[in-house]
A and B are shown apart, each in its own frame.
Chain A
Amino acid sequence: MVENWQPLANIVTLKQRAQYLADIRCFFAKREVLEVETPILSPAAPTAPYLNSFTTDYIPIGSQSKQTHYLQTSPEFAMKRLLAAGSGSIYQIARVFRNGEQGKLHSPEFTMLEWYRPELTLNQLMDEVNVLIQQVFNFKSISRLSYRGLFEFYLKFNVFDCADDQIKYCAQQRIKGLSDDLQLDRDGWLELLMSHVIEPRLAAMNMPVFVYDFPASQAQLAQIKQDQQGNDVADRFELYIEGVEIANGYNELLDANELRQRFESDNQQRRDQQKPEMPIDNHLLAAMESGLPACSGVALGWDRLIMLALNKPDIKSVQSFSFELA
């Protein structure tokens, strides 16, 4: 007989989780942001090289043919199609799936709160996130630090003009236990320094932090702009609470051609790494060609936020049944 049928989260936690859901719906209702639902399954998938989608087969009844579908890693693409169709501000509380990711802060299946605000600039969206985490979750106000400033302050180099070798050298000096033959690209070394050196500092700050103006190479689906020093930066932010990455926000890329190029360069990277290429979402590209309104959007890890709000040690503790108990 299987013994571990019970949830890891206790019933009190699940009630608190339900209350947060009610509160967040109230928060958006007051702001007249529309709740939407979009498909979890799609024949297209994000191309990001380090995002692994789950696949499943659609088999029409009476047929032998299998049509590969992907489980969403975020509801982003479908929500942008709604925006292009004139939905106005929308939000979604969605189940999302990321193959292979499991740990204290990762689960292959989790809940994401994602919202888009056509009438807000990225700065105004950051203000809204700030109000949300204070009002609904009782966290402290969020301070703002640029990516460049963080690296300059803690690691003494300029992320925009430092040579790759110097970044690698810095990582090997500052992070104990890296093998000498570790091979990473520039962004890989920067990410490693972020997670091993800077995140612990952010955790020690005792207040939530927005990191903004990422290197353009980490733009994902955000627009690229120039910062005050004239560096190309990605117009996006990440929210860290207690050193944990909680949310990722963009001044959304609007140019369909630019997006197609990013999808294709992602797929090129996938080919180089012997990973399967992902089918590009042509519906999204068509929607963007017809016109995505200027907008800001943010995706927030719901389980992580609740974990921190309730002082739990891992996201399992706030999920009714974690992946290994499913």
Chain B
Amino acid sequence: MANISTNEFKSGLKFMLDGDPCSIIENELVKPGKGQAFNRVKFRNLKTGRVNERTFKSGDSVESADVMEVELEYSYTDGEFWYFMDPVTFEQHAADLNAIEDCKKWLKEQYIYTVTQWNGTPLLVTAPNFVNLTVADTDPGLKGDTSGGGGKPATLETDAVVRVPLFITIGELLRIDTRSGEYVERAKNK
């Protein structure tokens, strides 16, 4: 695996630290006038998701991490793993709970997700910005109310709960913004 010198550090760079793949959030040069130079680095451990700090002597190097992002289609779960398929090669990839935790409530079969992989293992699954999901349960809608004022909770097919306008009924397909977790509009059937 290639080595990366501190002088190539920049945000977004992926590298290995203590056996875990990490991504640089911030890199700062620390150097007294005539003194030695250090790089103070804030990074995210891509396995645990935790943010940490590390100080390197400038000129030291780290191992690069074989981390890439791929677009995969969600297939199914057996309760322990969540399986994603490469739509071109049909290859299956199993993601654990850690990797899908953040987007678990937006996982729907046959949708395409961005999967961050390290050495072929999914580390993190990110939902598309918008998904269309069917309402599994909500209080009966009020006829004639189209204003959307007030709203009510609705449970979607993935168990996500979102606030929806009062006129929404069970079985409708809704467009949801996964970044904010908010209802956008009624979706036209896919």
A160-203 toward B: CB 8 Å interface, digit per residue (1/0)? 00000000000000011111001110011001101110000000
Contact A187 B35 (CB under 8 A): yes
* CA gap between A194 and B30 in the complex, in Å: 11
Interface string of B27-49 (1 = CB under 8 A from A): 01111111111101000000000
Q: Is the CB of B34 within 8 A of A103?
A: no
User: Would you call B11 an interface residue if the criterion is a C-beta within 8 Å of the partner chain's C-beta atoms?
Assistant: no
Q: Which 9 A-B pairs have the closest CB atoms?
A: A103-B29, A177-B54, A177-B53, A191-B35, A48-B34, A195-B30, A188-B36, A50-B36, A106-B29
Instruction: Report the minimal beta-carbon distance from A26 to chain B, rounded to whole angstroms.
Output: 27
Report the bound CA distance from A194 to B53 in whole Å.
17
B7 at the interface (CB under 8 A from A): yes
Q: Flag if A177 contacts B55 (CB, 8 Å).
A: yes
B63 → A minimal CB distance (Å): 13
B52, CB-defined interface residue at 8 Å: yes
List, in ascending order, chain B residues with CB within 8 A of A48's CB: 34
Q: How far is the CA of A161 from the CA of B94 in the complex (A)?
A: 58
Q: Is B163 an interface residue (CB 8 A)?
A: no
Bound complex: CA of A169 vs CA of B33, how far in Å? 25
Does residue B179 face the partner (Cβ distance < 8 Å to A)?
A: no
Do A100 and B7 touch across chains, with their CB atoms under 8 A apart? yes
Q: Is A255 an interface residue (CB 8 A)?
A: no
A to B CB contacts below 8 Å, 23 in the list: A50-B34, A50-B35, A101-B31, A103-B28, A103-B29, A103-B30, A104-B28, A177-B53, A177-B54, A178-B54, A179-B54, A179-B56, A182-B57, A184-B36, A187-B35, A191-B32, A191-B35, A191-B36, A194-B32, A195-B38, A196-B30, A196-B55, A248-B34
In the complex, the answer to whether A176 meets B53 with C-beta atoms within 8 Å is yes
How many angstroms from the CA of A60 to the CA of B38 in the assembled complex?
A: 40
Q: What DSSP secondary structure best describes chain A's contact surface?
A: loop
Looking at chain B's contact residues, the main secondary structure is: strand
Asked, given contacts A101-B29, A102-B29, A103-B29, whether A220 binds B55 with beta carbons under 8 Å apart, the answer is: no
Q: Nearest chain-B residue to A221 (Cβ)?
A: B34
CB neighbours (8 Å) of B57 from chain A are 182-184
**Contact indicator B29/A248 (Cβ below 8 Å):** no
Question: Are A51 and B34 in contact, with the CB atoms below 8 A?
Answer: yes
**A51 — nearest CB in chain B belongs to which residue?**
B34
Interface residues of A, Cβ cutoff 8 Å to B? 48, 50-51, 100-106, 175-179, 182-184, 187-188, 191-192, 194-196, 218, 220, 238, 245, 248
Least CB separation from B7: chain A residue: A100
- Taken together as a complex, chains A and B put the C-alpha atoms of A326 and B80 apart, in Å, by 54
Q: Which of A177, A178, A196, A248 contacts B33 (CB 8 A)?
A: A248
Q: How far is the CA of A176 from the CA of B52 in the complex (A)?
A: 9
A72–chain B nearest beta-carbon distance, Å: 14
Smallest Cβ-Cβ distance to A50: which chain B residue = B36
Which A residues are CB-close (under 8 A) to B32? Answer: 191, 194-195, 245
B38 to A192, Cβ gap below 8 A?
yes
| A220-B28 contact, Cβ under 8 Å, with A177-B53, A196-B55 | no
Q: Taking the nearest CB of chain B, how far is it from the CB of A95, in angstroms?
A: 17
Contacts A50-B31, A101-B29, A187-B35 given; 9 further ones with Cβ under 8 A? A50-B34, A106-B31, A178-B54, A178-B55, A188-B35, A192-B38, A192-B55, A196-B40, A196-B55
Chain B residue numbers with a CB within 8 Å of A51 are: 34
Contact A50 B55 (CB under 8 A): no
Chain B neighbourhood of A191, CB < 8 A:
32, 35-36
Cα separation A245 to B31 with both chains bound (whole Å): 10
Of the candidates B7, B28, B30, B52, the one having the most CB atoms from chain A within 10 angstroms of its own CB is: B30
A183 to chain B, nearest CB (A): 8
CB closest residue in chain B, given A104: B28
B137 to chain A, nearest CB (A): 47
